[in-house]
Amino acid sequence: MFVMFEVSAAAAGRAENLLSAEVLDETDARVMTKHEADQLGLPGAEVNRRGGDRFYVRVAKQHQRMIASFLETSPDVADFVVYDLDS
């Protein structure tokens, strides 16, 4: 069971700043661009509502709260939406 976070980066946000290497290792999360998410057939909005870049984080559902906590406190994140990939 997986979820995907569609992350709208803050104006200067970068994919490599979304999650630390430790969090990525611990959760086995995968940070992707829109192109990479499309190649895997993952859902996602076409237009970034707030400007800046958009990134996607695929992670096991058991780690959803941990990833959400990190994204909520990151200055590199404007907002995010979570999709359940098992529906």
86 vs 82, which has greater pLDDT?
A: 82
CATH number at residue 10: 3.30.70
49 vs 3, which has greater pLDDT?
A: 3
Nearest-angstrom CA–CA distance, 83 and 87: 9
pLDDT, tens digit (0-9, with 9 covering 90-100), for 61-79: 999 999 999 999 988 888 8
50 vs 6, which has greater pLDDT?
A: 6
User: Where do we find the tokens 């997986």?
Assistant: 2
Q: What's the token pair of residue 34? A: 């829109």
Domain count within the chain: 1
Q: What's the token pair of residue 61? A: 């559902």
Predicted model pTM: 0.83
Q: Which domain holds residue 18?
A: 2-84
